[in-house]
Amino acid sequence: MSAVGKVVHLWKYLTKTSGFSVTPGCVRAGGKVTVSGRLWQKKGKWAPDTRQRMVTECRYGKKAYTLRHGVMTDSAGRFHQVFALPQNAVCLAW
């Protein structure tokens, strides 16, 4: 079962994420996880937020780690990236 936490948006425009998922939720050191979803921006109505760089952060215990490689949204606002996690085996909260 994947572990998904609250998404934090650090931008001056109103945005939201839909279909956000991280799979799998538990991995060993060096294991890979897939982060995917779709980013939207409020422009009168909700529209795909295209070509935006997103930063992924995971928490291990009480520490937060930002993954080196950011995710870039495509022309439809979708993002999909596979990451190798540097920490020891545990379940992560995103």
Domain boundaries, the chain: 15-91
Q: What is the pTM of this model?
A: 0.70
- For residue range 18-75, what is the model confidence (pLDDT) as tens digits? 998 888 877 777 788 888 999 999 988 999 999 998 877 777 677 777 766 678 999 9
* Cα 80 to Cα 19, 46, 54, 88, distances in angstroms: 11, 20, 11, 23
| C-alpha–C-alpha distance, residues 42 and 79, integer Å | 18
- For residue range 19-35, what is the model confidence (pLDDT) as tens digits? 988 888 777 777 888 88
Q: 24: cis peptide before it, omega within 30°?
A: yes
